[in-house]
A and B are shown apart, each in its own frame.
Chain A
Amino acid sequence: MEDDIRELYQEVILDHGKNPRNFRHPEDATCEANGNNPLCGDRLTVFVKVGEDQSIEDAAFEGRGCAISVASASMMTDIVRGKKVTEVDALFDTFHKMCMGEEIGETPAEFEDDLDKLIVLSGVKQFPMRVKCATLAWHTMNAAVHGEAATSTE
Chain B
Amino acid sequence: MTAVSTVMETDTIGSSAGYDVAAIRADFPAINLEINGYPHAFLDSGASAQKPNQVLERMDQAYRSEYANVHRGAYTLSQLATDNYENARTTVAKFMNAKTPDEIIFTRNVTAAINLVAYSYGREFLSAGDEIIISHMEHHANIVPWQLLRDAIGIEIKIAPIDDAGNFLVDEFEKLLNPKTKLVAITQVSNVLGTIVPIKDVVRLAHAQGAHVLIDGAQGIVHEGVDVQDLDADFYAFTGHKLYGPTGIGVLWGKLDLLNSMPPYQGGGDMIENVTFEKTTYRDAPARFEAGTPPIVEAVGLAAAIDYVSEIGLTNIAAHEQNVLAYATEQLSAIEDLTIIGQADNKAGIISFMLGDIHSHDIGTIIDARGVAVRAGHHCAQPLMDRYGVAATARASLGMYSNTTDIDQLVDALNYVKEIFG
Contacts and interface: CB of A to CB of B under 8 A. Distances in A.
Is B truly associated with A? yes
Contacts, number: 55
Interface string A125-141: 00101100100000000
Contacts of A5: 365-366, 369, 420
Contacts of A1: 36-37, 369
B370 to A, nearest CB: 8
B179 to A, nearest CB: 37
B392 A40 contact: yes
Interface stretch (B49-57, B188-196, B237-245, B355-363): B355-363
B328 interface: no
Given A1-B37, A5-B366, A40 B420 contact: no
Contacts of A67: 358-359, 362, 421
Contact of A130 (B361, B392, B420, B421): B361
B378 interface: yes
Nearest to B363: A66
B191 to A, nearest CB: 15
B377 A40 contact: yes
B361 A40 contact: yes
A66 B377 contact: no
Interface in B317-371: 358-362, 365-366, 369-370
Contact of A40 (B37, B376, B421): B376
A8 to B, nearest CB: 7
B382 A66 contact: no
A64 B369 contact: no
A9 B417 CA distance: 10
Interface residues of A, number: 22
A14 B420 CA distance: 9
A20 interface: no
B365 A130 contact: yes
A2 to B, nearest CB: 5
A42 B358 CA distance: 13
Interface in A29-74: 39-43, 64-68
B385 interface: yes
The contact size tier of chain B is: 20 to 34
A4 interface: yes
Interface in B371-422: 376-378, 382, 385, 391-392, 420-422
Contact of B361 (A4, A6, A14, A133): A133
A14 B365 CA distance: 14
Contacts of B358: 67
Contacts of A8: 365
A41 B36 contact: no
Given A4-B369, A5-B365, A127-B365, A43 B359 contact: no
Contacts of B369: 1-2, 4-5
Nearest to B385: A41
A99 to B, nearest CB: 15
Interface in A132-152: 133
Given A5-B369, A65-B359, A130-B365, A14 B421 contact: yes
Interface string A1-32: 11011101100001000000000000000000
B378 A40 contact: yes
B391 A43 contact: yes
Contacts of A40: 360-361, 376-378, 391-392
Contacts of A68: 361-362
A14 B376 CA distance: 19
Contact of B392 (A2, A41, A129): A41
A133 B377 CA distance: 13
By Cβ-Cβ distance, the 10 closest A-B pairs, closest first, are A66-B359, A66-B361, A41-B378, A1-B36, A40-B377, A1-B369, A5-B369, A41-B391, A67-B362, A66-B362
8 contacts: A1-B37, A6-B420, A14-B420, A40-B376, A66-B359, A66-B360, A127-B365, A130-B365
Interface of A: 1-2, 4-6, 8-9, 14, 39-43, 64-68, 127, 129-130, 133
Interface of B: 36-37, 358-362, 365-366, 369-370, 376-378, 382, 385, 391-392, 420-422
Given A64-B391, A129-B365, 4 more contacts: A9-B420, A40-B361, A40-B391, A41-B391
